Structure 1
Amino acid sequence: MDTRRYRVLVRQLLEAEGVPPGTETAVTFVGRDEMAELNEAHMGHAGPTDVLAFPLDLVPGPRTPAEASIRLAGDIVVCPAVAAVNAEAGKGSRPGHDGSVTAEIDLLVVHGVLHLLGMDHAEPAGAAAMRARETEHLRSLWSRS
């Protein structure tokens, strides 16, 4: 797993989305069992999923000045084993998606970052907007690769 690739990608995504420099985001890669536990505990769904996002600073509530000085976008959890299963099906789902596990994980990280920033795909309009942003970011990423 090229963790450096994803650290750089997250930083570039946050910058492109206008998030202040220094905002922290964690990307964690887990196995199927751990992802299944997280999916059950946080989403109420059985079995593993490909990506989960846990926004932090978007949660409303009072913060001390010290807390306010630390910018935390949130945590993204990716399951490469599920991504590997989904990769071939993802081929062509976005311009440039070649069906590789790397392309699928790129998509999942972009998807996770957009969730941290408040985007959602529960409703058709939100899904269309989120997909358009994903495609824009992936096109930019893959044109540089």
Structure 2
Amino acid sequence: MTVINETDYEIDLAEFAELADYVLTQMHVSTDSELTVLFIEEEPMADLHVRWLDLEGPTDVMSFPMDELRPGRPDAVTPQGALGDICICPSVAQKQALAAGHSMVEEMLLLQTHGILHLLGYDHAEPEDEEVMFALQRHLLLTFLAQR
């Protein structure tokens, strides 16, 4: 697990590492799996957004899966592997947090949870899939925050 901040924003990297461990544990995936969470500025995020999705401008979060690990079960944890990388743009998260009426940190924790679920194969292209993914990410984040 690697968490890197390449921005000027003050970010408690340990909190994001704890969240990643929590989500992987809850999803029954080995916490020894390789995962990188990278906080980046708008310009490199915009570059990634154009390169990978052909969409202009920066976005909030992007996920780059590696070994296509999937959630396990309580009796069968997914063995360690290369889960992938998540890039989060704090300046975009800050704007979204203001609009949503919560803190920037809560927004970035939500984005990281969202990104991990994408790495585990969840998607929200279809309404039914969106309902499942968003309910799961909400549950994971709220239970993580409640235990702190």
Q: 1:107 to 1:21 in 2, by over 3 A?
A: closer
| Deviation of 1:70 (Å) | 6.1
**Partner residue in 2 for 1:144:** 147
Which protein shows a greater Rg? Answer: 1
Which ranges of structure 2 fall in alignment gaps of 5 or more residues?
1-10, 70-78
Amino acid at match of 1:75: D
**Partner residue in 2 for 1:79:** 89
1:17 is the counterpart of 2:20 = no
**Residues 97 and 104 in structure 2, CA contact (< 8 A), matched pair in contact too:** yes
**Partner residue in 1 for 2:107:** 104
> 1:101-141 deviations in whole A, cap 9, x for unaligned?
00100100000000000000000011000011011111102
Q: Distance in 2 between matches of 1:139 and 1:9?
A: 11
Aligned length: 129
> Taking structure 2 as the reference length, what is the TM-score of the superposition?
0.83
Higher helix share: 1
**Partner residue in 2 for 1:121:** 124
Question: Would you identify which runs of 4 or more consecutive aligned residues in structure 1 move more than 4 Å?
Answer: none
Q: Distance in 1 between matches of 2:117 and 2:14?
A: 19
Amino acid at match of 1:28: L
Q: Distance in 2 between matches of 1:27 and 1:53?
A: 9
**Residues 61 and 115 in structure 2, CA contact (< 8 A), matched pair in contact too:** yes
1:53 is the counterpart of 2:56 = no
Give the root-mean-square deviation of aligned CA atoms.
1.4
> Taking structure 1 as the reference length, what is the TM-score of the superposition?
0.85
Amino acid at match of 1:77: C
| Deviation of 1:8 (Å) | 1.2
| Deviation of 1:90 (Å) | 2.3
> 1:63-97 deviations in whole A, cap 9, x for unaligned?
xxxxxx86111100000000001102223xxxxxx
Amino acid at match of 1:56: M
How high is the sequence identity, in percent, across the aligned residues?
Answer: 36
| Deviation of 1:11 (Å) | 1.2
**Partner residue in 2 for 1:29:** 39
